[in-house]
Amino acid sequence: MNNFKMISVADGARQELHDVLGLTGAEISVNVLPAGASVPFVHAHKQNEEIYAILEGEGNVTIDEQSVSVKAGDWLRISPSAKRQFFASATNALKYICIQVKENSLQGYTVNDAIIL
pLDDT of residue 109: 77
pLDDT of residue 1: 56
pLDDT of residue 108: 77
Q: Are 28 and 97 in contact (CB under 8 A)?
A: yes
Residue 31 is part of a domain; what is its CATH number? 2.60.120.10
Domain containing 71 equals: 14-105
Longest Cα separation, the chain? 51
Of 103, 99, 102, 98, the closest CA to residue 39 belongs to 98
- Total domain count, the chain: 1
Give, for all 117 residues of the chain, the pLDDT tens digit: 588 888 888 777 788 888 889 899 999 999 999 999 999 999 999 999 999 999 999 999 999 999 999 999 999 999 999 999 999 999 999 999 999 999 988 887 777 777 778
Residue 42 in any domain: the answer is: yes
Residue 110 in any domain: the answer is: no
pTM tops 0.85: yes
